[in-house]
Amino acid sequence: MKIEQIYTGCLSEAAYYIESEGESVIIDPLREVEPYIEKAKENNSQIKYILETHFHADFVSGHVELAKKTGAIIVFGPHAKTEFKFKQVEDGEIISVGKIKIKAIHTPGHTIESTCYLLIDEKGVERALFSGDTLFIGDVGRPDLAVKSNLTKEDLAGLLFDSLRNKILPLDNEIIVYPAHGAGSACGKNISKETFDLLGNQKQTNYALNKNLKKEDFIKEVLDGILPPPQYFPKNVKLNKTTINKSVEEVINTGSKPLSIQDFDTEVRKGALILDVRHQKDFVKGFIPGSWFIGIDGGFAPWVGSLIKDINQKIVIVCPEGREEEVVTRLARVGYDNSVGFLKGSFLSWEKTGRKKDIIIQETAEELEEKNKNRINILDVRKSTEYNIEHIESAQNKPLNDLFNHYKEIDQEKTYHIHCAGGYRSVIYISILKSKGYKNLIDVIGGYAAIKRTNIPKTEFVCSNTKN
């Protein structure tokens, strides 16, 4: 028997490869499926099942494409409804893979169809629990993503409590918990950086598994501090219930097409969004006017999904040479399939033509400290949970994730000093405002990490366990 966790950092997502006696299963695959197929070939194994723990909201799954290429059977739990053929397993149903068995455990709460998969080894020992978004290391899945007209988020939180108490807590302490996400995912609010753990340890350390926690207190705790889900979440759920017309290979072939300056201009005039994914240190020094910065080396895919409202938006890419296919692939992971190409030669080719460029003015935290002696406008674009822990006394909180609901409140005639935690989100924020005509914007280098080292008046630190 072989168990392998396949972790993708940009999405904080874990897929799983399980193999026994020449048969294998894939749990929660990403959209690009070739790595799973290659892994099965390396092990002389045939992929028999594709197990989905639920309809994912934060990425587009590769289940349909993988089934098409391998003949494997797609499996969902109770109440799942799709446009494609799949096997619906009931609570307690067992499927066989080689000499091992996998037991479906229906655990509604995060979503109605949420199902964990319990692996039973060749000797009949319960070895591992693939918990999806039901149970994370240190946290549980948010219960507000599958609300229907007859079910509130409180109802779903109550179902999650029952699932944990009745289905998960009775399991053996020595079982290893393998969740679908680690720290950084928007599917939970306090997920550990660890990506697996013994269930017994989680019973001791995870607040959601505290036997003394009453249902009403659990509901209050799990809902407290949850930010609104990113706008692309329901769109990805919809995609995961349908048969996607484009394969990821088709998306990559189209999106990775080199564009001359002239062709690039043509696409922009036709409405394509310029997405510049270089490092923020390079972007601030010079960029094509109107560009949005979302750096490929930061939380790229989630921020694309949060900020680009139209999932069908045509996109032209400015990126470091050699990383074009990577960018298009990571866009496709969250359903953004309409990249039409990249600027050949990257930003340097634009500069060489002598065409107009834009820059972002930056100042150090020390310069901010000096200017703050007078009355200046400071925008803190971190999440509200970060802001509430500690912030500059005079700063307004204008979170990046909520930009389109508040940016019109920002006075274009005033000058604003803008910061986040470290300098990534603030550059995104400024780039989008600049694309909308704002000019008087200054980025604070190093963000709040640098500001903390100054004597700028700050609020009293408030300890918080919430990391969303």
Rounded Cα distance between 227 and 300, Å, is 19
Q: Do domains 2-236 and 246-352 have the same CATH topology?
A: no
Span 53-57, average pLDDT: 97
Rg of the chain, C-alpha, whole Å: 24
* Per-residue pLDDT reduced to its tens digit, 256-291: 999 999 999 999 999 999 999 999 999 999 999 999
pLDDT for 404: 96
Q: Is the pLDDT of residue 243 over 70?
A: yes
Res. 467: pLDDT tops 60: no
| 110-148 tens-digit pLDDT | 999 999 999 999 999 999 999 999 999 999 999 998 766
The whole-model pTM stands at 0.93
Residue 146 has a pLDDT of 77
**Rounded Cα gap, residues 75 and 97, in angstroms:** 13
Q: How confident is the model at residue 150 (pLDDT cuts 50, 70, 90)?
A: confident
Q: Give the Cα separation of 72 and 60 in Å (integer).
A: 18
What was the pLDDT predicted at 444? 98
For residue range 168-222, what is the model confidence (pLDDT) as tens digits?
Answer: 999 999 999 999 999 999 999 889 999 999 999 999 999 999 999 999 999 999 9
Q: Is pLDDT of 464 > 70?
A: no
Return the CATH fold of 361-451: Oxidized Rhodanese; domain 1 (3.40.250)
Find out whether 49 and 95 touch, Cβ atoms under 8 Å.
yes
The proportion of the chain whose per-residue pLDDT surpasses 90, expressed as a percent, equals 94
Superfamily of domain 246-352 in CATH is: Rhodanese-like domain (3.40.250.10)
Domain ranges of the chain: 2-236, 246-352, 361-451
> Dihedral (C-alpha) 35, 39, 40, 41: value to the nearest 10 degrees?
100
Residue 267 backbone phi and psi in degrees, to 5: -65, -40
Backbone angles phi, psi at 369, to 5 degrees: -60, -45
Mean pLDDT of 85-103: 98
Tell me, what's the pLDDT at 147?
67
Contact, 117 vs 97, CB < 8 A? no
Sign of CA dihedral 34, 178, 295, 468: positive
pLDDT digits (tens, 9 = 90+) for 441-453: 999 999 999 999 9
Amino acid at 175: I
Query: φ, ψ for residue 122 (rounded to 5)?
Result: -60, -25
Per-residue pLDDT reduced to its tens digit, 339-372: 999 999 999 999 999 999 999 999 999 999 999 9
Rounded to 5°, the CA angle 126-44-62 comes to 75
> Which pLDDT score, from 0 to 100, does residue 466 have?
43
Give pLDDT, residue 29. Answer: 98
Residue from 372, 367, 371 nearest 457 by CA: 372
Question: Hey, CA dihedral for 151, 157, 158, 163, is it positive or negative?
Answer: positive
Residue 330 pLDDT more than 50? Answer: yes
* Amino acid, single-letter form, for residue 68: K
The CATH architecture to which 2-236 belongs is: 4-Layer Sandwich (3.60)
pLDDT at 7 over 50: yes
Q: What is the mean pLDDT of residues 449-465?
A: 90
Would you state the structure tokens that stand for residue 269, as one six-digit string? 């005039």
What does the pLDDT average to over 395-424?
Answer: 97
Write down the pLDDT at residue 468.
40
Backbone angles phi, psi at 26, to 5 degrees: -115, 130
**Mean confidence (pLDDT) of the chain:** 96
